[in-house]
Structure formats: C-alpha cells, structure tokens
Amino acid sequence: QVQLQESGPGLVRPSETLSLTCGVSGISITGGSYWGWIRQPPGKGLEWIATVYHSGGTYYNPSLRSRITISVDTSKSQFSLKLTSMTAADTAVYYCAKTPDTSIFLFDLWGQGTMVTVSS
Amino acid sequence: QSALTQPRSVSGSPGQSVTISCTGTSSDVGRDDYVSWYQQHPGKAPKLLIYDVSERPSGVPDRFSGSKSGNTASLTISGLQPDDEADYYCCSHAGAYTLIFDGGTKVTVL
C-alpha cells in the first residue's frame, strides 16, 4: 500500500536550518500526485507549509516563503523540506502528505509525522 | 492569508447530529469549491473526510457531510458515535494554489 515516512533530526538549534525528508513507497513519485508539507505546533492547529510537483512546480505558504525550499528527488522516491532560521515558534510535528491525481487542493494520505523541537 | 474561524469545541450525545462551521472570506472559502475537512484523533495524523465542499472519499461513512454557503463551509456529523470524538479541521484554497487551515474544532461525545 502507499506509505509516506518522514525523517529528520528531532532537535534543531535556533537559527539553524531544518532538513526533513519524506520517503514515498507503493506509488510512483513521478505520477499525478503533488507532495506537501504541513506542520502542527504542540496543542495547536495545522499549518500548510508548501506543495511540490515532481517536475518542479512549487507552491509556498506566503508567511514562510522566504525561508522554505521544497524539492523532489525522483531517483530516491523522496521529497524534502528545508526551513531556514529556525526559532522556537517552528517547534511542531511536521507531516508530509500527498494529493490525489485529480486535485492539488487536498491531501488524501499523510505520513505519521515527525516531531521537531527547536532548542539550544 | 487571513485565518479561517470555527468554534473551538462542539459536543453532542451519541446518535445526535453536530455541525461545525468554518468561516472565511471571498478570498478563500468563498473563492471556489476547494474546501476540505480532516479528522484527527489524538497523537494521530489527520485523515481526509470531505473534499470539494461535499465529496466523500471512499470508506468515509455517509454520516459525514459537507456544505457551503457564501464564505462559510460546514461539516455535519449525523448519528454521532464515540469514535467521532476528535479534532476537525477545515482547509481552503486561498488563491494561487496556496492552502489555509483553520484552528480546529474539538468534538466531544457526551
């Protein structure tokens, strides 16, 4: 079955760059789906971060745009998120997710999430 | 992007119906029909419940239904069951293929 699995450092120092990867299995990353990142601070709601297509289309949350890089590595069947200048406000569970082939506006499968804490 | 607003919590007894509203603006909820709803149980990843305002993915019970009027979308849960106790999030297209979530509503089954 289709599975998404986030991987990342768990702990990031303030001002550093967060790098997360989402491994995709059970489906071709070069198919019709878009791939996205969403985060959730502890006890708070969801925040969409960015969405990417394997051939390069990228869409960013305007409030985070200047700090985000999102990309797809088709050879490894994974996509990645880099978030620069991390602060305590970026502490959250980070989810990767996929869209269906038919729409970029929803996520029909999510990874289990990975907790990222920003602390010195 | 401005935030979508919805009630922080709603509650109901088993078998009852509850409705969660999600209010935005003409720049998001009122823009088009790209509104989706997600259910999240504690410690779990969100699950897609409704997309395109009122469409249900395969496997989602028809007790869950969605609608929209103007700048407000709504999710109705009919025949409330104990397992429906969860957080529910509304998500809308906010222009230029960007998305916005609301703050979430906690549904409590009494």
pLDDT, tens digit, for every residue of A30-52? Answer: 999 999 999 999 999 999 999 99
* Percentage of chain A exceeding pLDDT 70: 100
Minimal Cα distance from B91: which residue of A?
Answer: A106
Minimal Cα distance from A42: which residue of B?
Answer: B43
Question: How high is the pLDDT of residue A56?
Answer: 83
Q: Which residues of A touch B47 (CB under 8 A)?
A: 110
Among B34, B48, B102, the residue with its CB nearest the CB of A108 is B48
| Concatenated DSSP letters of B11-58 | EE-TT--EEEEEE--TTTTTTSS-EEEEEE-TTS--EEEEBTTTB--T
Minimal Cα distance from A51: which residue of B?
Answer: B98
Give the whole-angstrom CA distance, residue A117 versus residue A114. 10
3-state secondary structure string across chain A? CCEEEEECCCEECCCCCEEEEEEEECCCCCCCCCEEEEEECCCCCCEEEEEECCCCCEEECCCCHHHEEEEEECCCCEEEEEECCCCHHHCEEEEEEECCCCCCCCCCEECCCEEEEECC
Among A44, A48, A110, the residue with its CB nearest the CB of B45 is A110
Confidence of residue A19 (pLDDT cuts 50, 70, 90): very high
Mean pLDDT of A14-24: 98
User: For every one of its 110 residues, what pLDDT tens digit does chain B have, with 9 covering 90 and above?
Assistant: 567 889 999 999 999 999 999 999 999 999 999 999 999 999 999 999 999 999 999 999 999 999 999 999 999 999 999 999 999 999 999 999 999 999 999 999 99
Mean pLDDT of A109-115: 98
Report how many Cβ contacts below 8 Å link chain A to chain B.
65
Q: For chain B, how big is the Rg over CA atoms in Å? A: 13
Mean pLDDT (chain A, rounded): 96
Q: Smallest CA–CA separation between A120 and chain B, in Å? A: 26
